[in-house]
Structure 1
Amino acid sequence: MSIATTLDRLHARVRQNKWLRDFTVFTRIVLAMGFLPSGYVKIVGEQFTDLPICHPMGHYLEAFHRTGFYYTFVGVVQVIAACLLLIPRTATLGAMLYFPIILNIFILTLAVRFVGSWVTAPLMVLANLYLLCWDYDKLKFILPFNKQTDLVS
């Protein structure tokens, strides 16, 4: 049995579980709520935090705030990703857009040893990975082990 077939069967079984469907909706809402306030703060141009610049994360966020339109751009993308997660039809696109942003935040947290998000950032990455796995049936066509063998002539 191929990897693709095994994953298809496992995914079908998981998608039938009512508790996991409810957990998926909950996860989408929680992740969206994590990005809406922080994205809004960036859009209106306010400082994201009041950490002193002597702290590595404070220094980074001060420099990030001073980038101007890039700071605003990241805020807009965060709000778009959050809104897409809340709409069932666009939730997969929202999870795909959300992933590189939250992965970047997680790596930044590790890089500057910021204890303020040592728990939340990895949990948000895992939650987002869960959502991507939940939508495996929509994403499987871009995976390398899901090649079509039947070509129409």
Structure 2
Amino acid sequence: MTFQKLRTNRWNHWIIIHVRYLVGFAFFPSGLTKLAGNRFTSISTDTPIGYFFEAMYRTGFYWNFLGLCQITAGILLMTQRYALLGALMFLAILSNIWIITISLSFTGTWVITSLMMVAVITLLVWDYYKLAPIFSYNRSMTIPSYPDPDRMWINAGIIYTACLMGLSLPGPVHKDWGQWISRILVLAVFLTFLVSNYKMYKKRSLLLKNQV
């Protein structure tokens, strides 16, 4: 019953939607770097961390494959509709990264990856009712139905994906053009955030007015 209240709360719904956006974006910069075949760090190979990343980089196609998986997980989270699949992919990838940051004693990085783990687990708990049949095999059960995110949030996710991937693209860019493109993309992200949340506010106000 407590989960039912949490799950149907509009503010919790809003928070989860934006956590999906944030977590999804987290993989874009590193994923695109790997997919493009570039090194992720310039740390000297004399250190365990630098040696590890250099070895990963030299695997070639596997390095690109990791980047592709990261980008795919991020895009799925951004879509909102396929967010559960994205969260499952993200958990599989992030679990490895989290253990690596702890075992190699990354300074401070393990804190960031730990917070990301908490965020991903929260997303999975939010959609646990979709996973419940897997853990209740061959047993009858009632699956609750919750509304999917509005089309507005799906459209916002598409815009966020395009803009944030554009901002995360590695490689040389003409200085003047690069600055203007970056400003336009940042502005598009900001306007998308304002418009989508304003529409949510208006919709909620109208709903409350009709209830009165």
For the superposition of Structure 1 and Structure 2, which TM-score range results when normalised by the shorter chain? Answer: 0.7 to 0.9
The residue number in structure 1 matching 2:125 is: 133
1:98 aligns with 2:90: yes
The residue number in structure 1 matching 2:23 is: 31
Q: Is the 8 A contact 2:35 2:68 kept in 1?
A: yes
1:30-69 per-position Cα deviation (integer Å, ceiling 9, x unaligned): 1111101110000000000111112211111110000000
Can you give the 5+ residue segments of structure 2 that lack an aligned partner in the other structure? 142-212
Q: Identity, % of aligned pairs?
A: 37
Measured in 2, the distance between the counterparts of 1:119 and 1:45 equals 27
Displacement of 1:143: 2.0
1:110 aligns with 2:102: yes
Aligned-residue CA RMSD in angstroms?
1.5
Measured in 1, the distance between the counterparts of 2:108 and 2:50 equals 11
Larger radius of gyration: 2
1:57 aligns with 2:49: yes
SS of 1:138's partner is helix
TM-score normalised by L of structure 2: 0.63
One-letter amino acid of the counterpart of residue 80, structure 1: T
Measured in 2, the distance between the counterparts of 1:10 and 1:55 equals 49
Measured in 1, the distance between the counterparts of 2:2 and 2:60 equals 46
Of the candidates 52, 69, 72, which is equivalent to residue 80 of structure 1? 72
Q: Is the 8 A contact 1:36 1:79 kept in 2?
A: yes
TM-score normalised by L of structure 1: 0.87
Q: Is the 8 A contact 1:49 1:61 kept in 2?
A: yes
One-letter amino acid of the counterpart of residue 54, structure 1: D
Measured in 2, the distance between the counterparts of 1:87 and 1:63 equals 33
SS of 1:115's partner is coil
Displacement of 1:11: 2.7
Q: Which runs of 4+ in 1 moved over 3 A?
A: none
One-letter amino acid of the counterpart of residue 139, structure 2: Q
1:3-22 per-position Cα deviation (integer Å, ceiling 9, x unaligned): xxxxxx33322111122111
SS of 2:81's partner is helix
Displacement of 1:108: 0.4
Measured in 1, the distance between the counterparts of 2:23 and 2:72 equals 12
1:43 aligns with 2:40: no
SS of 2:82's partner is helix
Q: How many equivalent pairs are there? A: 141
